[in-house]
Structure 1
Amino acid sequence: MSTRSPVHDRLHDAAHSLRRAATTRTPVPAVRTTLGSADIRAAYDVQRHNIQRLVAAGDTIVGRKIGLTSAAVQQQLGVTEPDFGTLLGSMRVPNHSTVACTKLLQPKIEAEVAFEIAEPITRVPNDPEGLVPLIRCARPALEIVDSRIERWDIAIVDTIADNASSDDRDG
């Protein structure tokens, strides 16, 4: 008799599906069908689980990302709020390097502003102006987003579970 709960099974199935997509480079159906279309907490649990597996396998956390911040992109993708993800060392592409398209599923590229933080943020200020002293510098960046969900058919639960549609070349 299994001691796993139905919630645990849903999370495991969704996490496994996304890992399989990353490994085989074959997009999978939307995980919201497994997690529920409104279960944001479960989506972040799936994301956290897969990030922990990658870190346990030797990858490193190098930063955080906020995605879906513009109203236009939210409308285009049918979402109503930003998502948050984790940046890993394996996602870095040094200047003047290339990324083999065969390592990606459905890539898109976005121009971004990357902020290097001078010290860990331990308290979120009430006013965004309070973050300014914590920023060491801002740099232009190109972000490769790459959904493991078929046809980019995503809702907020899908993109969150998929680490904010972050490129995951190492699977």
Structure 2
Amino acid sequence: MSSPLPTADLDTWADRLHSALVDSAPIPPLSDSIPDLDVAGAYAIQQRNLTRLLGEGARLVGRKIGLTSAPMQQLLGVDEPDYGFILDTMVHPDGGSIPLSSLCAPRVEPEIAFRLNRPLRGPDVSVADVLDATDAVAAALEIVDSRIAEWRITLCDTVADNASSAAVVLGPWLPINDAPDLDDITASLHLNDEQVDQGVATAVLGHPAEAVAWLVNALAVFDTGLQAGEFVMSGSITAAVFVHAGDTASADLSGLGRVSIDFT
């Protein structure tokens, strides 16, 4: 998949998004300045920043899937999810803290994380293939953040901006054979011990492993896949809720446990 946009334009906007990330200073929507920006171009921008960060010493440890719920797809006028990368520098310990000054306008989402014990590569990967390649799952929180001012995003804006990914928090890994039926899991999202939303894992494309299968098949278009040891954030089970300095966010996922993070 290639974009008709000139390489120099892709490089320029990758640079601007990288600066917005480093400085925690959002920029106007790319789609306002590049009316011809398409999804292929947006992923090309995302890939440029992944290559840059890996070159600076970061390590790719997984992927995240976004836009897995019908309401979010309807909001952006799309009919499929998107994805981004997760680096080791983006993983925070359960019960740890994140300085709000390092973010722009963060939100939190409860998710199920999948850890692979063998490579997965599309096309034609199924839910059964995903479950067979998964050795463990975990309760997780994703911190999503937009380097696009005021979250004024189109699909291309969020794709270019690493699918609005910022950080992840993982609970203890539970062997997949000990886990409950994943589509039956209920997630409760709390801010400062007050429940703010609740949902069931069927909100994630009907089954969270379906989202992972979608990701692997989407990566095949770019001649890549997932490696053993990598993990996948499968998509939010509830709405994404804004957080502020002093907040503690936590999620309880039935059968998987609890995970939390402080914002300082």
TM-score of Structure 1 vs Structure 2, range by shorter chain = 0.7 to 0.9
**2:89 pairs with 1:98:** no
Structure with the larger helix share: 1
Alpha-carbon distance change, 6 to 141 in structure 1, aligned in 2, over 3 angstroms: closer
Structure 2 CA distance for partners of 1:79 and 1:145, relative to 1, 3 Å: farther
Alpha-carbon deviations, 1:51-93, whole Å to 9, x = none?
11011001100001111111112234x2413111110001000
Q: Is the 8 A contact 2:5 2:37 kept in 1?
A: no
Report the Cα offset of residue 25 of structure 1: 1.3
Q: In structure 1, the residue corresponding to 2:128 is in which secondary structure?
A: helix
Is residue 15–residue 47 contact of structure 1 (8 Å, CA) maintained in 2? yes
Work out the percentage of aligned pairs sharing the same amino acid.
Answer: 36
Rounded to whole Å, the distance in 2 between the matches of 1:135 and 1:10 is 39
Q: CA deviation at 1:10?
A: 1.5
1:24-47 deviation per Cα after TM superposition (whole angstroms, max 9, x unaligned) = 211101112344355111111100
Structure 2 counterpart of 1:150: 149
The aligned counterpart of 1:128 is 127
Matched, 1:70 2:74: no
Query: Where does residue 56 of structure 2 map in the other structure?
Result: 57
Measured in 1, the distance between the counterparts of 2:136 and 2:36 equals 37
Q: Assess if the C-alpha contact under 8 Å between 1:116 and 1:136 holds in 2.
A: yes
The structure with more radius of gyration: 2
How many residues are aligned here?
Answer: 163
Structure 1, gaps ≥5 residues long: none
Aligned residue for 1:139?
Answer: 138
CA distance, structure 2, for counterparts of residue 79 and residue 159 of structure 1 = 13
The 5 Å alignment of 1:24-63 reads: 24-36=23-35, 39-63=38-62
**Matched position secondary structure for 1:13:** helix
Q: In proportion to residue count, which structure has more strand?
A: 2
SS in 2 for 1:16: helix
Corresponding residue SS for 2:115? strand
Scaled by the length of structure 2, what TM-score is found? 0.58
